[in-house]
Structure 1
Amino acid sequence: MSVPRPRRRPFRRARACVALCAGLAAALSGCGDPDEGTNGVGKLSAREIEEKARTAVDGATAVRVTGELVTRGQTYTLDMRLGKDGGSGSVTARGTAFSLLRVGDSLFLKGSEAFWNQADQGRGPSRSPGASGGSGGGIADKLGGKYVRVPAGDPAYGQLRGFTDQKALLDGLLTLGGEPVKGGRPTLHGVPTIEVKGGDDAKGGTLDVSLRGTPYPVRLVRAGGAGTLTLGDWGKDFPLTAPAKDQTVDYGSKIPRT
């Protein structure tokens, strides 16, 4: 007489159930620690996160700044690469774009014909580039598509240089109003971040700080609707050389108001 073998299916089900429960417990454990796998700044207070971001910015060798900046009622659209020794990129204002390039203290401006036509409105007879007097054709014909060296004594030098100065620009921008508080954790351009808001209502602006690697700022929403800027390519080198002589025009002691 044959003896029936015991059925093992219940034991298999039991093992499967144990494995499923273990996997579920691990998943729940991971969900319970949102800072797992991050740089850890999310565990800090809002003030400490802001300070960490500031330290990271101060140590950065380069950054790319894009977006809109509103100041004194004027909106500027920026796409600038900034480094310790200068910067380059484009700025759009009043519907026209121009390029800026600074190498050390040498600042160059390049605009389209439309830009120079706009800049020359109301100036009277045009002055030939590099000449001490006299009149000629429109300055747009002479300057369009060329780099113009901006004299250090020109009133426009300080303002234009500010767009190319990494420290000056970021020091002026990355300041929140009100007591900082922690916000949400949005993912921006594939980077997990944590928000630091200026006040509970964020009226003082919002700074999104990276939770991956060095805690660099990723996005800044300025207070009062004064623009939103994206910051990226931290520490990434970019070419920075003065334009060739055949691409440069010396306008003289003062360029048209830009």
Structure 2
Amino acid sequence: MTTIAPGSTRRAAATTAVCALAVLTGCSENPDAGTNGVGKLSAAVIQSRTRAAATSVETVRMAGTVVTSGRTYQLDMRLNKDGGTGSVTSKGSTFQLLRVGERLYLQADADFWNHADGSDTSAAGTLGGKYVKVPQGDPAYKKFSGFTDKDLLLSGLLTLHGPLSTAGHHEQSGTPTIRITGDGGSGGTLDVSLDGKPYPLRLERGGGAGTLTFSDWGKDFSVSEPEKGETVDYGRQLPTS
């Protein structure tokens, strides 16, 4: 007959109790199990990986708010290597942007143009619903074309300021994420996908400069010139608000 030492019995019982408690409380779950593994990396490496993932594909949809020069813009843009298209809202006015290569168009209803032109309702009626080509020398071109440039936007937006650190596992629209922060969050926070490629999925810019979500990474779409009958020249400097 085999004799079991009393100490061994106590250790076995303790181990069983700990294992049972871990199962009941979920302590044994590994949040990185079955993921792409970036959640186990340092914040600096995660930021580097998510930048690489973002530049590795040509298309993305970006939606949310951007605060620049004291003005808030609500964006919903689809971007690719050839340009972009989508809507911009500022101070209650909404307009559509379309860029194909170097050619930028702005489309808005008559109320937008009437507000821009003051009492010139005839111009508003002519421009309303049309694609107005923005001259490259117009101040509005530089300001609005930036909203349609994927690489330019992401190079600035995906920068967190201050010391980087990780801030736990989270979820964005059903996708598990790892969050990284700059300066404890005051320099911005970025949620990075733990499913598939480590794409950036949600960004809170530092200093209350806006919140954006990113989706449809790598989903193909095309931009094309509007029909000739749908375009018109503005004939003066475009509004930039």
TM-score, normalised relative to structure 1? 0.81
By how many angstroms is 1:31 displaced? 3.4
Contact 2:43 2:165 in 1 (8 A): yes
Which stretch shifts more, 237-246 or 140-149? Answer: 237-246
The one-letter code sitting in structure 2 at the alignment partner of 1:81 is: R
Partner of 1:154: 138
Paired residues for 1:166-185 under 5 Å: 166-185=150-169
CA distance 1:39–1:26, shift in 2 (3 Å): farther
Aligned-partner Cα distance in 1 for 2:211–2:190: 10
Partner of 1:10: none
Partner of 2:225: 242
By how many angstroms is 1:24 displaced? 6.2
Partner of 1:54: 51
By how many angstroms is 1:255 displaced? 3.7
The alignment status of 1:217 with 2:200, answered yes or no, reads yes
Q: Provide the identity percentage.
A: 54
By how many angstroms is 1:96 displaced? 0.6
Aligned-partner Cα distance in 1 for 2:199–2:128: 38
Aligned-partner Cα distance in 2 for 1:180–1:89: 32
By how many angstroms is 1:198 displaced? 0.5
Partner of 2:14: none
Aligned-partner Cα distance in 1 for 2:175–2:231: 40
2:124 counterpart (132, 135, 140): 140
Q: Return the index of the structure with the highest Cα Rg.
A: 1
By how many angstroms is 1:115 displaced? 1.1
Contact 2:134 2:238 in 1 (8 A): no
The one-letter code sitting in structure 2 at the alignment partner of 1:240 is: V
Partner of 1:164: 148
Q: Secondary structure at the match of 1:177?
A: coil
Which stretch shifts more, 85-94 or 242-251? Answer: 242-251
5+ unaligned residues in a row in structure 2: which ranges?
1-16
Higher helix share: 2
- Map Cα deviations across residues 186-226 of structure 1 (whole Å, 9 max, x no partner): 111011001000022x1001000000000000000000111
By how many angstroms is 1:25 displaced? 9.5
Contact 1:30 1:36 in 2 (8 A): no
The one-letter code sitting in structure 1 at the alignment partner of 2:96 is: S
- Map Cα deviations across residues 142-192 of structure 1 (whole Å, 9 max, x no partner): 000000111111121111100100011111111101011000211110110
**RMSD of aligned alpha carbons:** 2.2
1:34 counterpart (31, 35, 50): 31
1:43 counterpart (40, 43, 57): 40
Between Structure 1 and Structure 2, how many residues are aligned?
223
Contact 1:120 1:256 in 2 (8 A): no
Aligned-partner Cα distance in 1 for 2:131–2:28: 55
By how many angstroms is 1:256 displaced? 2.8
CA distance 1:43–1:89, shift in 2 (3 Å): same
The alignment status of 1:256 with 2:234, answered yes or no, reads no
